[in-house]
Amino acid sequence: MSEPRIIVALDFDHAKTALDFCKKLSPQLCRLKIGKELFTAAGPAIIEKLTHQGFDIFLDLKFHDIPTTVAKACKAACELGVWMINVHASGGRKMLMAAREAVPQNSTRLIAVTVLTSLNEHDLHEIGFSNSPQELVLKLAHLTQDCGLNGVVCSAQETTALRKELGRNFCLVTPGIRLIDNIKTDDQERVTTPHQAIANGSDYLVIGRPITQSPDPYQTLLDIQRSITS
Ligand code: C5P
């Protein structure tokens, strides 16, 4: 089987709930994303347990601080043996370069968040950015690539443009995925189906609630896997 392109977002507030849920999944079919909520509640121990079970972990802590602090945080995250980590591209060139230097090439993948999908044009203007969200995403993605990072987190609706501008080898990770028969969007503004996201050029799909709230998570995972390989 080819490498898993589905990353299940473990948005749980307790280690036991997350571990029980992961018994319904398979490392052959998916990777796992641990974010601020679960990591704050459960700490590095949950990474160790899930890695031991064969899962690759994307540690989604979105570091954003002065260069030295971010570099040290990235180094500590790599030492947990995770598959991928991330920082905010808006931390700027010096911060991105410091993060790159702290993470050995060909070890943990290092990607950057461009513009949070919760921000619209008005929000950006209010905090002093004059670009549209799309312009800013492109600008920050170019900066991220220029600093030698492996890729960015972006909306699947932006992947076609980013893929064209940034080339085949730049990793595009896309949340905001909804299944065709499950059009509930929750708090996601711009959603895309798994098949469309892959067709647009996404490398990895971050999927939370469509899997975590499914009555049969394993079957949902299988269905999504089939839809992206068809
Ligand atoms: O599929 P669902 O909407 O439940 O996925 C939510 C997950 O996607 C959360 O873990 C959130 O952190 C992540 N995410 C996002 N938008 C971004 C980056 C990450 O929704 N721009």
- Reduce the secondary structure of the chain to three states and give it as a string: CCCCCEEEECCCCCHHHHHHHHCCCCCCCCEEEEEHHHHHHHCHHHHHHHHHCCCCEEEEEEECCCHHHHHHHHHHHHCCCCCEEEEEHHHCHHHHHHHHHHCCCCCCEEEEECCCCCCCHHHHHHCCCCCCHHHHHHHHHHHHHHCCCCEEECCCCCHHHHHHHHCCCCEEEECCECCCCCCCCCCCCCCECHHHHHHCCCCEEEECHHHHCCCCHHHHHHHHHHHHHC
Residue 31 has pLDDT above 90, yes or no: yes
Is any ligand 1 atom within 6 A of the Cβ of residue 197?
Answer: no
Q: Whose CA is nearest to atom 15 of ligand 1?
A: 175
What pLDDT does 157 receive? 80
* Pocket residue to mutate for ligand 1, from 32, 116, 206, most atoms within 8 A of Cβ: 206
What pLDDT does 190 receive? 62
Residue 91 has pLDDT above 60, yes or no: yes
Average pLDDT in the 15-30 region? 97
Residue tagged active-site, from 23, 24, 49, 62: 62
Is any ligand 1 atom within 6 A of the Cβ of residue 38?
Answer: no
Q: What's the pTM value of the predicted model, to 2 decimals?
A: 0.94
Atom of ligand 1 nearest to the CA of 212: 4
CATH class of 6-225: alpha beta
* Domain range list for the chain: 6-225
Residue 186 has pLDDT above 80, yes or no: no
Question: What would the pLDDT profile of 121-134 be if each residue is shown by its tens digit?
Answer: 999 999 999 999 99
Residue 182 has pLDDT above 60, yes or no: no
Is any ligand 1 atom within 6 A of the Cβ of residue 207?
Answer: yes
Using a pLDDT cut of 90, give the percent of the chain over it: 86
* CA 119 to ligand 1 center in whole angstroms: 13
* CA 3 to ligand 1 center in whole angstroms: 21
What pLDDT does 191 receive? 73
Residue 181 has pLDDT above 70, yes or no: no
Is any ligand 1 atom within 6 A of the Cβ of residue 208?
Answer: yes
Q: Whose CA is nearest to atom 13 of ligand 1?
A: 175
Is any ligand 1 atom within 6 A of the Cβ of residue 8?
Answer: no
Residue 49 has pLDDT above 90, yes or no: yes
62 is catalytic: yes
- 189 band by pLDDT with thresholds 50, 70 and 90: low
Is any ligand 1 atom within 6 A of the Cβ of residue 53?
Answer: no
